[in-house]
């Protein structure tokens, strides 16, 4: 991809910061807009502090005037939209924030992007892109033998989070079909890797295991997810920005279906090897009451992305999960800084009543 100017929303979060780091590494200029809520962390970007290829702006995607000013000032070649409330459990406790950020925020961003795009000279309009990053959770739940989600799978969201992301997907589609805004959407499976906030399954289990705390597994632990290493996800997004067809959706999967309980046991085995103190870590596994509306299985069919654009994930689950455990063990200070009092309050609120 030629050097581009990218406006990235949510670029201090987990996937967003990995994308920003990779974008700068590839030689692009990145304007990074993030509100720095609990999941946003500038420490994720410490390695590019002071780099002129990265400009951080603290602000919200609900601020249309700010977005318009950034578009005018920096004339980006693409908007890459990661900013979202993304944790299912938090959406169950407080859905309003998810509607506000994921629906109203996406609308605000789309509207500013449309006005900017219309102001561009024709040659710039032809190359401009609005890339919307979404999730496989919009498709609902699969049975154990049902075929994987594909781009034509009907939407059946089962949580407030999934419903808010489905709404944002529909808005993005509508801005393409109604106004011609050059959009592409990607729906990805569960991500894992460096800089993931430790409320999500994999970093939570690593952190708790190292601390000698219980490893809370919902229900019977047989819920299935397709796991995508975050670097592979970022690579797929760059591929779609460069060569994806306008108005299209591309599903991004890791081709790694795993039961939650199996994931936890794999983590325990790796930790037994790398952090022998406390072994066997599997003794810490504790089954807790399942969360409401817990989808049983997700699986992604990414044939379209593979056949049209030639993308395939580089990491297997075994290679990616080992890299992830090693990163968290090597970055204990990062973990300690993000595990604040607010985080501890949330863990107590979410898991305390389930034990």
Catalytic center residues: 136-137, 161
Phi, psi angle pair for 325, to nearest 5°: -60, -45
Neighbours of 307 (CB within 10 A): 9
Neighbours of 341 (CB within 10 A): 7
Give per-residue burial for 214-228: e unless 16+ CB within 10 Å, then b. Answer: ebbbbbebebbbbbb
The β-bridge relationship of strands 78-81 and 5-9 is: parallel
Report which of 225, 255, 236 is spatially closest to residue 185, judged by C-alpha positions.
236
The β-bridge relationship of strands 5-9 and 54-58 is: unpaired
The answer to whether 201 touches 263, Cβ cutoff 8 Å, is yes
Q: Could you tell me the two tokens for 311? A: 């993308």
The answer to whether 130 touches 183, Cβ cutoff 8 Å, is yes
Strand segments (E) across the chain:
5-9, 29-34, 54-58, 78-81, 129-135, 183-188, 190-192, 215-218, 224-229, 249-252, 257-259, 285-288
Strand segments (E) across 168-223:
183-188, 190-192, 215-218
C-alpha distance from residue 263 to each of 63, 219, 267, 320, 321 (Å): 39, 14, 6, 12, 9
């Amino acid at each position: 991809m030629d050097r581009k100017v990218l406006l990235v929303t949510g670029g201090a979060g987990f996937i967003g910061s990995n994308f920003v780091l990779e974008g700068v590494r590839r030689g692009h200029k990145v304007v990074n807009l993030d509100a720095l809520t609990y999941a946003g962390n500038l420490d994720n970007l410490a390695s590019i502090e002071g780099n002129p290829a990265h400009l951080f702006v603290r602000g919200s995607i609900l601020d249309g005037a700010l977005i318009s000013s950034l578009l005018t000032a920096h004339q980006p070649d693409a908007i890459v939209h990661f900013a979202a409330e993304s944790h299912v459990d938090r959406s169950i406790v407080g859905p309003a924030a998810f509607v506000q950020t994921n629906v109203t925020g996406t609308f605000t961003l789309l509207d500013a992007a449309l006005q900017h795009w219309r102001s561009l000279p024709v040659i710039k309009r032809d190359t401009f892109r609005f890339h919307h990053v979404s999730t496989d959770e919009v498709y609902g739940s699969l049975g154990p033998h049902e075929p994987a989600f594909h781009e034509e799978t009907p939407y059946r969201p089962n949580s407030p989070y999934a419903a808010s992301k489905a709404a944002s997907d529909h808005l993005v589609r509508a801005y393409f079909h109604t106004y011609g805004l050059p959009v592409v959407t990607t729906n990805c499976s569960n991500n894992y890797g460096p800089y993931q906030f430790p409320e999500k399954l994999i970093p939570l289990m690593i952190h708790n295991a190292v601390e000698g705390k219980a490893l809370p597994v919902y229900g019977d632990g047989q819920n299935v997810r397709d796991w995508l290493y975050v670097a592979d996800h970022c690579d797929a997004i760059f591929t779609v920005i460069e060569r994806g067809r306008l108005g299209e959706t591309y599903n991004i999967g890791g081709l790694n279906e795993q039961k939650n309980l199996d994931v936890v046991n794999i983590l325990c085995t790796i930790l037994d090897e790398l952090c022998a103190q406390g072994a066997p870590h599997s003794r810490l596994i504790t089954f807790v009451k399942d969360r409401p509306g817990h989808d049983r299985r997700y699986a992604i069919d990414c044939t379209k992305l593979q056949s049209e654009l030639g993308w395939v994930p580089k990491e297997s689950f075994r290679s990616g999960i080992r890299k992830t455990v090693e990163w968290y063990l090597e970055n204990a200070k990062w973990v300690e800084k993000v595990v604040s009092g607010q985080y501890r309050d949330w863990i107590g609120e979410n898991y305390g009543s389930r034990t």
